[in-house]
């Protein structure tokens, strides 16, 4: 049994949806320092809704979210970034009318000038491809570069927890591997990573823990290696 690091984020009994329609029901999930947790499941099972409810984009109708023991359920979305929560949505995850540099500036909106410069240096070291494109319009970036910019933007605030919604969607296999490498390096920087992925096998391979969602409920939660090796799960959710 894999030892678990300190709990960074605790989601208890989360139910959420859009308007009257409840999409996810009574979901519990914990994240731990220096670990990657991947949520897998069929389309429409509520993976993205769960991330949105944690980030406050949609308000949970029930449940509680804590970051390092502090209850953040009632906080506004913009205040969660100060608590160390970063989130990269699946699509529309950059500001297309702004330049690459201005996207990063918005990522560090609440930072002082000195902290902004320090963090900018850090993310550009991680994603050197963006260095030459700082003055370019972000709408002209390729799919892979966009994902890197989106991730960089979220990292500008030096989060403790980062949630990534399908970061490899629509990318070529080489770029997918590059993005996954970047995610591994986030874990090494002591971050808790919550990943939602369609490339389920690849994502679980780099993960410490996994959870399977189905019809708006969490049906399995275990170590990623055990989920990968479970034949039944593999047949049902990993394409055999």
Partner 1 sequence: MKYFDIIFENKTILLLFWIILILSLMKPWLFVNGILIGSLYALGSIGLSLIYGNLKFANMAHGDFMTLSSYVALALLLFFFPNSEQSPSVGPFTFKYELLIIIPIAVVLIGFLAVLFDKLIYKKLRDLGAAPAAIALTSLGLAVGLRGLIQFIWGTDSTSFPRESKLFWDLPFKVKIPPDMFFCAIVAFIIAIAFYFVLFKTKLGKAIRATSDNPDLARITGINTEKIILYIWFIGGILAATSGILISVQQAIITPVMGWKILIPLFAAVIVGGIGNPIGALMGGLLIGITGELATGWINPSYKPAVYFLVLLIVLLLRPNGILGSKGRQF
Instruction: Work out how close the CB of 42 gets to partner 1 at its nearest, in angstroms, rounded to a whole number.
Output: 25
Three state DSSP letters for the chain: CCCCCCEEEEEEEEEEEECCEEEEEEEEEEEECCEEEEEECCCCCCHHHHHHHHHCCCCCCEEEEEECCEECCCCCHHHHHHHCEEEECCCCCCCCCCEHHHHHHHHCCCCCHHHHHHHHHHHHHHCHHHHHHCCCEHHHCCHHHHHHHHHHHHHCCCCCEEEEECCCCCCCHHHHHHHHHHHHHHHHCCCEEEEECCCHHHHHHCCCEEEEEECCEEEEEEEHHHHHHCHHHHHHHCCC
Q: Which is nearer to partner 1, 13 or 97 (CB)?
A: 97
Instruction: Work out how close the CB of 78 gets to partner 1 at its nearest, in angstroms, rounded to a whole number.
Output: 5
Instruction: Work out how close the CB of 83 gets to partner 1 at its nearest, in angstroms, rounded to a whole number.
Output: 10
Q: Which is nearer to partner 1, 141 or 227 (CB)?
A: 141
Q: Which is nearer to partner 1, 34 or 77 (CB)?
A: 77
Q: Which is nearer to partner 1, 68 or 95 (CB)?
A: 95
Residues near partner 1, by CB under 8 A: 55-57, 76-78, 80-82, 86-87, 89, 92-98, 102, 105-107, 109-110, 139, 153-154, 157
Instruction: Work out how close the CB of 191 gets to partner 1 at its nearest, in angstroms, rounded to a whole number.
Output: 16
């Amino acid at each position: 049994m894999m030892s678990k690091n300190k709990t960074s984020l605790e989601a208890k009994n989360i139910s959420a949806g859009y308007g009257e329609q409840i999409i996810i029901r009574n979901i519990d999930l914990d994240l731990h320092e220096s670990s990657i947790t991947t949520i897998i499941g069929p389309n429409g099972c509520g993976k993205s809704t769960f991330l949105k409810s944690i980030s406050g984009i949609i308000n949970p109708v029930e449940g509680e979210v804590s970051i390092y023991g502090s209850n953040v359920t009632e906080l506004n979305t913009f205040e969660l970034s100060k608590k160390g929560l970063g989130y990269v949505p699946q699509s529309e995850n950059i500001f297309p009318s702004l330049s690459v540099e201005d996207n990063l500036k918005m990522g560090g909106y609440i930072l002082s000038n000195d902290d902004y410069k320090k963090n900018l240096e850090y993310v550009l070291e991680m994603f050197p491809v963006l260095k030459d494109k700082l003055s370019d319009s972000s709408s002209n970036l390729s799919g892979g570069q966009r994902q890197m910019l989106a991730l960089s933007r979220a990292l500008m605030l030096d989060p403790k927890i980062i949630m990534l919604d399908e970061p490899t969607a629509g990318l070529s296999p080489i770029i997918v591997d590059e993005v996954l490498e970047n995610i591994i390096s986030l874990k090494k920087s002591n971050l808790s990573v919550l990943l939602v992925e369609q490339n389920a096998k690849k994502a679980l391979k780099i993960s410490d823990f996994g959870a399977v969602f189905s019809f708006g409920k969490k049906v399995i939660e275990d170590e990623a290696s055990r989920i990968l090796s479970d034949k039944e799960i593999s047949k049902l959710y990993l394409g055999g």
